[in-house]
Amino acid sequence: MITLQAITKRVGGRTLFEDVTVTFNEGCRYGLTGPNGSGKSTLLKIVMGVEPSTSGTVALPRKVGFLKQQIEEFANYSVLDTVVMGNNRLWNAMQEQNRLYEQEMTDEIGMRLGELEEVIAEEDGYSAESDAAVLLTGMGLPEDLHTKKMSEIPTDRQFRVMLCQALFGHPQALLLDEPTNHLDLESISWLEGFLRNYTGTLVVVSHDRHFLNAITTHIADIDYETVIIYPGNYDAMLVTKTAVRSRAEDENKAKEKKISQLKEFVAKFGAGTRASQVQSRVREIQRLQPLDLKKSNIQRPYIRFSAPEKQSGQVVAKIDSLNKAYGDNRVIRNFSLEIHRGDKIAVIGNNGRGKTTLLKMLAGALAQDGGSIAFGHQVETAYFPQNHEEIIDKKSPMSAFDWLKERCKTMYDQDVRGALGKMLFSGDDAFKPIRALSGGETARLILASFFLSSPNFLVFDEPNNHLDLEAVSALAWGLEDFKGTAIVAAHDRDLINGFATKIIAIEEEGIQIYQGPLEEYLETRKNVKK
């Protein structure tokens, strides 16, 4: 059980949440939701004592697993040791035991070693390495990586190790901030199963709607400067929250109408002989004052790509015997495909298998080693890279408005402001410097540039990585509604299910092309494995 008592957090002149008192119960799995900037990660840090609250207290169980983001602290530790460090009591006991074994034995050291043996036994220390290996394998890290140093494995795999660290040692509570960020579909499915069987207290932040719907029993929503607990998963919360807000707004409108009628009576008879009736109306007006409804922080961007000014040919791109290798690692081997006008393609596959490589070659940002890519008539491509800095200088003092105006020089200022407004850059936010933008704001700015350029071929590499749940839903609708052709690499099943009618799956045995939605493809894969 985790209990927050009268927690308040202010950042500058802004209040994230005020006087929050809430309990996260054992056996329940809570999704912590709210748009970018609402304070989700901040609240988790307050719970763990990593960041102070402005006021209030937190009560925690003895053993809490927390997903750390500072992978550089573990650079010189082995992968297995890094996972075992998730149980501080066990790790400290094992380290002290090793130090004492290097010293000359005395009665005092012998007594201490006995105490340490008890601690290690209580914490299941003798099965620690095998337990850690099970977690690592489930996260898709093969056994040959388990003894390597963290600095010797790819960054995305280091984050998977940190997730295993949080899960290790049977913690009584788990706090996970964006645990699916560096996972492929297979690892996400494994994690869903693990968390559904978890019996402690779980609080998770995620922008993956499918993941939240699959694992949560409750939603803790940060809004109206507080935390409101809703039973059920994310979709159930949206229905309830919308209904509650709508009911409160309807009640206010009814009160305002009644007050208007009463005020007319008071104005008409206030100076007459019906004083007692007037006074009763005045008292009723006071009683009926509408509730002061705080503004909700839920905002959904309006993502609609303009109909292309130029229609491409029927064949948008013809890929013939494409090859690409990095040293001895051949990630794309003799791949051929025709992309037709109107195709909505999702590219899926485990990390490191070539999704980004394929899209970079399609976007002209990377040369192939062999084969060819021939584009059809009047194809105009818009490329959204996974690394935003490939097209936007994150250190630039230039404002969001000036950057967009520079990319779309023929557009009027009001068109630029309109595109920014659709992506939630209202008022002075349009003139924020690029260097001050969050990852989500940068993603929305890049998307806004495509509203104005009217491409007919979208090549998007993990566009949802920094977007909140509402923005990902809006992006799925925008892609489905787009009148051109789109190919998108993503791990977010809600996004893929929202737009894709064809799947390119980069599997261990080669690249598979499936005509149909993601769920159908995954079902065929299950049947093949049986």
Amino acid (1-letter code) at residue 524: T
Q: Is residue 104 in a domain?
A: yes
> Could you tell me if 348 and 338 are in contact, meaning their C-beta atoms sit under 8 angstroms apart?
no
Same domain, 394 and 467: yes
Question: C-alpha distances in angstroms, 17 versus 8, 292, 524?
Answer: 5, 17, 46
**No. of helices (H) and no. of strands (E), the chain:** 17, 18
User: For the chain, how many structural domains are there in total?
Assistant: 3
- At a CB cut-off of 8 Å and minimum separation 6, what does 78 contact? 146, 147, 148, 149, 150
Q: Is residue 69 in a domain?
A: yes
Report the pLDDT value the prediction gives residue 149, as an integer from 0 to 100: 92
3-state secondary structure 444-501: HHHHHHHHHHCCCEEEEECCCCCCCHHHHHHHHHHHHHCCCEEEEECCCHHHHHHHCC
**Number of Cβ atoms within 10 Å of the Cβ of 484:** 24
Reference 204, options 67, 51, 347; nearest CA is: 67
Amino acid (1-letter code) at residue 112: R
Q: Is residue 297 in a domain?
A: no
**CA–CA separation, 205 vs 175, rounded Å?**
8
Query: What is the torsion angle, in degrees rounded to the nearest 10, for the CA atoms of residue 284, residue 289, residue 291 and residue 295?
Result: 160
Same domain, 232 and 254: no
- Consecutive H or E run containing 249: helix 234-269
Q: Is residue 309 in a domain?
A: no
Q: Is residue 242 in a domain?
A: no
Report the pLDDT value the prediction gives residue 244, as an integer from 0 to 100: 65
Same domain, 410 and 268: no
Can you give the residue range of the structural domain that contains 477? Answer: 315-529
Question: What residues are paired with 2 via a beta bridge?
Answer: 24
What does DSSP say about strands 315-326 and 370-375: parallel, antiparallel, or unpaired?
A: antiparallel
Q: Look at residue 411 and give its three-state secondary structure.
A: coil
Tally the residues of the chain. 530
- Paired tokens of 13: 């002149």
CATH number (domain holding residue 39): 3.40.50.300
Reference 383, options 411, 356, 420; nearest CA is: 356
Same domain, 78 and 173: yes
Amino acid (1-letter code) at residue 348: I
- At a CB cut-off of 8 Å and minimum separation 6, what does 420 contact? 400, 401, 404, 426, 429, 430, 445, 448
**CA–CA separation, 238 vs 375, rounded Å?**
43
- Boundary-marking domain end, from 216, 236, 256: 236
**CA–CA separation, 146 vs 143, rounded Å?**
5
Amino acid (1-letter code) at residue 506: I
Cα distance between the two ends of the chain: 40
Same domain, 13 and 87: yes
- Consecutive H or E run containing 346: strand 344-349
Same domain, 324 and 454: yes
**CA–CA separation, 166 vs 67, rounded Å?**
5
Look at the block and give the residue holding tokens 């694992």.
215
Report the pLDDT value the prediction gives residue 280, as an integer from 0 to 100: 73
Q: Is residue 310 in a domain?
A: no
Same domain, 151 and 46: yes
Q: Is residue 114 in a domain?
A: yes
Report the pLDDT value the prediction gives residue 374, as an integer from 0 to 100: 93
What does DSSP say about strands 218-223 and 201-205: parallel, antiparallel, or unpaired?
A: unpaired
**CA–CA separation, 180 vs 191, rounded Å?**
9
Same domain, 319 and 259: no
Same domain, 191 and 321: no
Taking each helix axis from N to C terminus, what angle separates 413-422 and 439-453, rounded to the nearest 10 degrees? 130
Same domain, 232 and 271: no
pLDDT in tens, the chain (530 residues): 899 999 998 887 788 888 889 999 999 999 998 877 778 888 888 988 888 889 899 999 888 888 887 788 898 999 999 999 988 889 888 888 888 888 888 888 889 889 888 988 988 888 898 999 998 988 888 888 999 998 888 877 888 898 888 888 888 898 988 888 777 787 788 888 888 988 899 999 888 888 999 999 999 988 878 888 999 888 888 888 777 656 666 666 666 677 776 677 667 666 665 666 666 766 666 666 655 545 555 677 888 888 888 888 899 999 999 999 888 888 888 999 999 999 999 998 877 788 999 999 999 999 999 999 999 999 999 999 988 888 888 888 899 999 998 888 888 889 889 989 988 888 888 898 988 888 888 899 999 999 888 899 999 999 988 888 888 888 999 999 999 999 999 988 889 998 999 999 888 778 889 999 888 888 887 666 55
- Consecutive H or E run containing 193: helix 185-196
Same domain, 218 and 124: yes
Reference 303, options 507, 73, 147, 482; nearest CA is: 482
394-433: b or e for each residue (b if 16 or more CB lie within 10 Å)?
Answer: eeeeebbbbbbbebbeebeeeebbebbbbbbbeeebbebe
**pTM, 2 dp:** 0.73
* Cα-only R_g, the chain: 28
Same domain, 332 and 434: yes
Q: Is residue 390 in a domain?
A: yes
